[in-house]
Amino acid sequence: MILRLQREPRADGWEQGASGERIVGARLDRIDGIKVLHDRGIPGTRATIDHIAIGPGGVYVIDAKLYSGRVEHRDVDGLPRRELALVVGSRNRAKWVAALRARVGAITRALGATPIPVSGALCFVDVQGSSNPEPFMLDGVWVGTPTALPDLVARPGLLDSEAIHHTAAVLDERLPGA
């Protein structure tokens, strides 16, 4: 019985996470002019990437989160200096920003010497507050909702359609499906 109780929340958490990934993935799949790779593993680790969108402006590493709390950035008193933190509900989730930045580094390495910009995005589904909260940047990571994703991943840039397809093919080959 104890084992069953210990497993249930984790299974529910996985299903909740998978539901958020499906919502964000479906939104990405409807955006014209980009290529999307879903659920990719990072070679040599157990880490996975929910979504990789390749658009005119570069490559976007997107982590989907299904949380119903308010999402905001707040000043926190960190010694020796004051810093901004990602707060979801009432909990500091700065570790999510750091984990996403590590995934961005993995994609940058997978692209090798290619000068294509790689950016991170935390995409929150079902956030509290206004019906369409404004995205914000925190430590180089975009934080927003699925409705704001088209403005991020389809923004103009240097990559044409051929470069987008080539970059997607390279990443598809180098990052196995999870």
Q: Which of 45, 27, 167 lies closest to 110 in space, CA to CA? A: 167
CA distance 39 to 56: 21
pTM of the model: 0.82
Q: Inter-axis angle of helices 161-174 and 94-111, to 10 degrees? A: 100
Domains belonging to the chain, first-starting first, are 19-174 (3.40.1350)
Q: Tell me what percent of the chain is helix, strand and coil, each rounded to the nearest 5.
A: 40, 35, 30
Q: pLDDT of the chain along its 178 residues, tens only?
A: 344 444 444 444 444 447 789 999 999 999 999 999 999 999 888 889 999 999 999 999 999 988 766 666 555 555 555 556 666 666 777 788 889 999 999 999 999 988 999 999 999 887 655 555 788 888 888 988 899 999 999 999 999 999 999 999 999 999 988 7
CA distance 174 to 98: 23
